[in-house]
């Protein structure tokens, strides 16, 4: 190696270089601090702008227009509120909307999604979802209900509205509870009403089912029991829902204050005895039912649930309206059958029922064809007493010539009952 010498010295300049390096560090820190403050200021401005936009209506559309993009319409945009009634409910049920009790009808819903719950033991509980606007995932059953309204002339006019089906009807009962209800109603309509007196000269139903005239005073008793021979069709028929032996109005508008009514077909059995108890006649049971709901004798009952079925307001109470209706139901059934046979061309006849003084004493049916060209036909008086349907005035004898003719005393009774109703 040669003898070249190297001198190692301090790299810092002696002319103030250290001071310049410190200044550079301070300048860098200041620049970074300015950038941080700038970012904070910009963030605050954006936050204020976002809050202002959120407070403006249609802010999404406003932003979209600023950036030249169209926003698709919302699914509920333009959807109006809608009113819903309820059908097929019972007075002891509990109705919840989104978990809150509801007693309002109709229920007015704004656009959105709702959960409907209905509990009314022993019916199966209901829980379903309803959306407005409707979507395929909805599970509530929607039907229509008739709403009588008034026209400008003040006459009733039926309109229709949407209704939520609560499904508390005969078809929604479990089999064991339906059987229990049927048993309770059958027991309630199986009864014998207090007797009435057949005066000498009055008609009554003989042992062979024909009309007879009493030659002495007789005691008449009428018994009712379920008509198991009635040929009912399960399902809905002419606005009525039937299941085996029980029927109710189909899709009836739900009113928590209204009783739940159920009907069943009944047959009647007359028995005639002397005052000392000797049986003179016990004709076959009156069984006018022919399968259609409006062609038979029907009896109703009011039904409640309190850890078991409770049935009330039936013909078993001789003072109840149902007991009086029983005779008129038999009379109406007999009138319907005879009018089909003897007046087949009479469409939509007018029929009025007049109760007797006691349920076992009968019923007056006032019958007339529908008015034609503004002419109102005279009333035909059909007197139902002691199992026999009688022509109780000349007009009835003219329209129904095959009916037995009422005696003078029976005609006077028919006129008396008609006058009570304002017909005579």
pLDDT digits (tens, 9 = 90+) for 388-406: 999 999 999 999 999 999 9
The three-state secondary structure class of 115 is strand
The whole-angstrom distance between residue 114's C-alpha and the CA centroid of its chain comes to 22
Contact 142, 160 (CB under 8 A): no
- With tokens 């139903």, the residue in question is 205
**CA–CA distance, 327 with 356 (Å, rounded to integer):** 9
* Positive or negative torsion for Cα 404, 410, 414, 415: positive
* pLDDT (0 to 100) of residue 147: 78
For residue 149, cis peptide bond before it (omega within 30 degrees of 0): no
| pLDDT on residue 1 | 47
Query: Any idea which residue has 């097929």 for tokens?
Result: 88
Distance CA(177)–CA(394), nearest Å, equals: 52
Outline where DSSP puts E strands in 151-217. 156-165, 191-192, 196-198, 203-205, 211-213
- 411-421 burial: b if 16+ Cβ within 10 Å, else e: bebbbebbeee
pLDDT value at 10 more than 50: no
The average pLDDT across 98-108 equals 91
DSSP state, 253? B
Decide if pLDDT at 417 tops 80.
yes
Say if CB 249 and CB 242 are below 8 A apart.
no
Asked whether the predicted pLDDT for residue 278 surpasses 80, the reply is yes
Burial of 366 (0-12, 13-18, 19+ CB in 10 A): buried
Lowest mean pLDDT among 66-75, 325-334, 406-415: 66-75
**Where does 274-398 show beta strands of DSSP type E?**
279-281, 298-305, 309-312, 350-355, 363-368, 380-385, 388-391
Q: Is the pLDDT of residue 59 over 70?
A: no
| Confidence category of residue 376, pLDDT binned at 50, 70, 90 | confident
21-30, 34-43, 108-117, 384-393: which range is least confident on average?
21-30
Q: Kindly tell me if the per-residue pLDDT of 45 is higher than 60.
A: no
Alpha carbon 103 to its chain's center: 15
Q: pLDDT at position 37, please? A: 57
Which segments within 214-287 are labelled E, that is strand? 218-226, 235-237, 240-243, 246-249, 260-273, 279-281
pLDDT in the model for residue 72: 44
Burial of residue 82 (number of CB atoms within 10 Å: 0-12, 13-18, 19+): middle
Q: What is residue 290's predicted lDDT score, i.e. its pLDDT?
A: 33
**Residue range 162-172: mean pLDDT, rounded:** 94
More confident residue, 304 or 318: 304
Least confident of 34-48, 219-233, 396-410: 34-48
Give 408's pLDDT tier (boundaries 50, 70, 90): very high
Polymer length of the chain: 424
Predicted confidence band of residue 92 (pLDDT cuts 50, 70, 90): very high
């Amino acid at each position: 190696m040669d003898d070249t010498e190297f001198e190692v010295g301090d790299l810092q300049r002696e002319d103030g270089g250290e001071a310049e390096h410190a200044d550079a560090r301070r300048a860098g820190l200041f620049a970074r601090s300015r950038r941080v403050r700038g970012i904070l200021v910009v963030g605050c401005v954006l936050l204020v702008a976002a809050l202002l936009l959120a407070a403006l209506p249609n802010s999404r559309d406003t932003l979209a227009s600023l950036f030249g993009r169209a926003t698709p319409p919302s699914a509920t945009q333009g959807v109006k509120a809608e009113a819903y009634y309820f059908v097929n409910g019972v007075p002891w049920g509990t109705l919840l909307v989104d978990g809150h009790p509801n007693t309002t009808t109709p229920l007015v819903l704004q656009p959105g999604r709702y959960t409907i719950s209905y509990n009314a033991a022993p019916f199966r509980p209901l829980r379903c979802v309803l959306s407005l606007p409707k979507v395929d995932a909805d599970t509530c059953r929607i039907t229509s209900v008739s709403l009588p309204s008034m026209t400008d002339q003040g006459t009733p006019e039926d309109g229709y509205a949407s209704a939520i089906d609560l499904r508390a009807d005969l078809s929604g009962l479990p089999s064991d509870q339906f059987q229990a209800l049927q048993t309770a109603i059958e027991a309630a309509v199986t009864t014998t009403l207090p007797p009435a007196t057949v005066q000498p000269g009055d008609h009554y139903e003989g042992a062979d089912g024909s009309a007879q005239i009493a030659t002495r005073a007789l005691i008449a008793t009428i018994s009712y029991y379920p008509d198991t021979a009635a040929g009912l069709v399960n399902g809905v028929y002419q606005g009525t829902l039937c299941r085996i032996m029980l029927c109710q109005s189909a899709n009836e508008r739900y009113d928590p204050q209204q009783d739940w009514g159920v009907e069943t077909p009944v047959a009647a059995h007359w028995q005639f005895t002397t005052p000392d108890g000797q049986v003179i006649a016990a004709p076959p049971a009156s069984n006018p039912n022919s399968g259609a709901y409006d062609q038979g004798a029907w009896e109703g009952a009011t039904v409640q649930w309190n850890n078991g079925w409770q049935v009330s307001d039936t013909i078993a109470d001789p003072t109840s309206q149902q007991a009086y209706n029983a005779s008129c139901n038999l009379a109406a059934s007999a009138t319907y059958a005879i009018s089909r046979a003897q007046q087949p061309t009479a469409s939509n006849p007018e029929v009025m029922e007049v109760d007797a003084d006691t349920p076992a004493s009968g019923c007056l049916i006032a019958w007339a064809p529908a008015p034609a060209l503004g002419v109102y036909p005279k009333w035909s008086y059909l007197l139902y007493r002691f199992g026999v349907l009688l022509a109780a005035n000349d007009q009835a004898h003219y329209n129904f010539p095959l009916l037995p003719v009422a005696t003078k005393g029976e005609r006077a009774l028919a006129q008396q009952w008609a006058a009570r109703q304002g017909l005579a």
